[in-house]
């Protein structure tokens, strides 16, 4: 019972840390975008976590963990109900490590993160109503089904695919949807002039910096909690590899950016840290510290080239979500097949998993967003975009005493 209590307390602490990551996402997104859209972004982030938890309770948890199923799609019923022991009393340690209730809450925090990734990519021009409908469908149905394929014991898990804490299951699942959404939405007004990408500076870089540091802290729970116990050796190793990859990602992104653009770009530094974190997430528990540094370093370099490539193909991602979560999520998942200390993890199986999630998420997100585009519309009017979504969709000003003319 004492070990159960220790494990359960650790898992609850990690749950709180993952919850706190939503503050980090909110700060990062509003910091890297313009003042006139701050309320809109904050509203979306609050909606994601509140609706996400309710959707996970209604059916998401039992879609993702259906028990015995065909490996592709299963559903254990609506709502949640803790299993009973043979004696008929509540089975506190139903999985051997912590309680059913803690498991639900910890997994529920992950579910909402996938939609948060999309929120940043579509910032400053997507209708709030369309985004809310997308969130309900993607978090409530698509994410849990995708999650069941690995974490729910589905066909990819049986194949040997490995994703420790979600480089693919969380970050790429959100990243693929972000890519589709950005493509269907089109760029912000003024982003491209004569085919050349123009910088649209964020209004509060100190806040974006605070957001990244909060996210890094939250990753202690994101990866540390994915050990699913308070095992001292494994949790310690996981936190070490997580932090080393983040540090390497930041340093390399800043260095490559300096070489390419001849300036010390703080936003690239910040996204490099996040890229390192996303990259190590798939295999944080099966990497040596040296491998973690290399994985983070490659992720940091990828960030710089991915951001410029996304601009080159005329896609507009205000916060770099596609580069961070999709590109580095793919890299981190494949890196398991290269650097894992477990010889059973192979590159080909990891690649198969990436391909399966890509096909499913691209198709699902396209069907949802394209349908919304053809029915209620997904983009605000030119007037609303120029004057700001805060005023038109919320009737509020985030900084009423510091009104700026932002067009």
Domain residue limits at 326? 2-394
Residue 405 within any structural domain of the chain: no
Whole-structure pTM value: 0.94
Q: What is the DSSP string of 243-307?
A: HHHHHHHHHHHHHHHHHHHSS--HHHHHHHHHHHHHHHHTTTTS--HHHHHHHHHHHHHHHHHHH
Which helix H or strand E contains 371, and what residues bound it?
A: helix 347-375
Q: From CA 248, how far away is CA 227, in angstroms rounded?
A: 23
Tally DSSP H helices, then E strands, for the chain: 17, 2
pLDDT of residue 403: 57
CB 60 within 8 A of CB 140: yes
Tens of pLDDT, residue by residue, the chain (407 residues): 578 889 999 999 999 999 999 999 999 999 999 999 999 999 999 999 999 999 999 999 999 999 899 999 999 999 988 665 555 555 555 566 788 899 999 999 998 888 899 999 999 999 999 999 999 999 999 999 999 999 999 999 999 999 999 999 999 999 999 999 999 999 999 999 988 999 899 999 999 999 999 999 999 999 999 999 899 999 999 999 999 999 999 999 999 999 999 999 999 999 999 999 999 999 999 999 999 999 999 999 999 999 999 999 999 999 999 999 999 999 999 999 999 999 999 999 999 999 999 999 999 999 999 999 999 999 999 999 999 999 999 999 988 876 555 54
152: left (phi over 0), alpha (psi -120 to 50) or beta: alpha
Radius of gyration of the chain (CA): 21
Domain count, the chain: 1
How many whole angstroms separate alpha carbon 16 and alpha carbon 55? 19
Q: Is residue 4 within 8 Å of residue 98, measured between CB atoms?
A: yes
Distance in angstroms (rounded) separating the CA atoms of residues 299 and 281: 12
Could you tell me which residues are beta bridge partners of residue 197? 192
**Packed helices 347-375 and 328-339: angle between N→C axes, nearest 10 degrees:** 160
Residue 403, domain member (yes or no)? no
> What is the number of other CB atoms lying within 10 angstroms of the CB of residue 14?
25
Instruction: Let me know: does 85 contact 350? Beta carbons within 8 Å.
Output: no
Inside any domain, residue 407:
no
Collapsing DSSP to helix, strand or coil, 1 comes out as coil
Residue 404 lies in a domain: no
3-state secondary structure of 71: coil
The torsion angles phi and psi of 193, rounded to 5 degrees, stand at -125, 120
Is 176 domain-assigned?
yes
pLDDT at residue number 147 = 96
pLDDT reported for residue 95: 63
Torsion of the alpha carbons at 16, 171, 47 and 21, rounded to the nearest 10: 30
Structure tokens at 163: 């994703």
The 3-state DSSP class for residue 90 equals: strand
pLDDT at 83 (0 to 100): 66
Q: What is the domain-level CATH number for residue 291?
A: 1.10.3430.10
Q: Is residue 400 part of a domain?
A: no
**What whole-number distance in Å separates Cα of residue 340 and Cα of residue 361?**
26
Specify if 52 maps to a domain: yes
* Residue 388 falls in which region: left (phi positive, over 0), alpha (psi -120 to 50) or beta: left
Judge whether 293 and 248 are in contact, CB under 8 Å.
Answer: yes
Residues contacting 393, CB < 8 A, separation 6+: 40, 127, 128, 380, 384
Is residue 221, in this structure, part of any structural domain at all?
Answer: yes
């Amino acid at each position: 019972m004492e070990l159960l209590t220790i494990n359960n307390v650790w898992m609850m602490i990690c749950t709180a840390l993952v919850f706190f990551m939503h503050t980090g996402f909110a700060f990062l997104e509003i910091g890297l975008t313009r003042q006139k859209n701050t309320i809109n972004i904050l509203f979306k982030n609050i909606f994601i976590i509140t609706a996400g938890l309710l959707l996970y309770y209604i059916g998401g948890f039992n879609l993702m963990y259906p028990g015995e199923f065909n490996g592709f799609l299963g559903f254990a019923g609506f709502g949640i109900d803790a299993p009973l022991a043979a004696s008929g009393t509540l089975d506190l340690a139903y999985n051997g490590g912590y309680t059913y209730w803690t498991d639900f809450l910890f997994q529920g925090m992950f579910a909402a993160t996938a939609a948060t990734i999309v929120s940043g990519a579509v910032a400053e021009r997507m209708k709030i109503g369309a985004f809310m409908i997308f969130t309900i469908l993607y978090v409530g149905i698509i994410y849990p089904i995708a999650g069941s394929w690995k974490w729910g014991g589905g066909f990819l898990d049986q194949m040997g695919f490995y994703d420790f804490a979600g480089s693919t299951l969380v970050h790429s699942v959100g990243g693929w949807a972000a890519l589709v959404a950005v493509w269907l939405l089109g760029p912000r007004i003024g982003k491209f002039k004569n085919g050349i990408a123009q910088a649209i500076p964020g209004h509060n870089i100190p806040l974006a910096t605070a957001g990244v540091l909060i996210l890094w802290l939250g990753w202690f729970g994101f990866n540390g909690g994915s050990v699913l116990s308070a095992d001292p050796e494994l949790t310690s190793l996981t936190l070490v590899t997580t932090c080393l990859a983040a540090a390497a990602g930041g340093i390399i992104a800043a260095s490559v950016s300096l070489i390419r653009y001849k300036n010390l770009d703080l936003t690239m530094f910040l996204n490099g840290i996040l890229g390192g974190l996303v990259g190590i997430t798939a295999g944080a528990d099966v990497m040596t510290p040296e491998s973690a540094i290399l994985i983070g370093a490659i992720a940091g370099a990828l960030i710089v080239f991915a951001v410029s490539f996304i601009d080159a193909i005329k896609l507009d991602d205000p916060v770099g979500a596609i580069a961070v979560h999709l590109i580095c999520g793919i890299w981190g998942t494949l890196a398991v097949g290269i650097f894992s200390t477990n010889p059973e993890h192979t590159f080909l199986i990891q690649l198969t998993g990436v391909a399966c999630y890509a096909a499913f998420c691209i198709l699902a997100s396209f069907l949802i967003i394209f349908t919304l585009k053809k029915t209620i519309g997904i983009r605000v009017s030119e007037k609303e975009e120029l004057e700001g979504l805060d005023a038109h969709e919320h009737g509020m000003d985030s900084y009423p005493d510091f009104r700026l003319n932002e067009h």
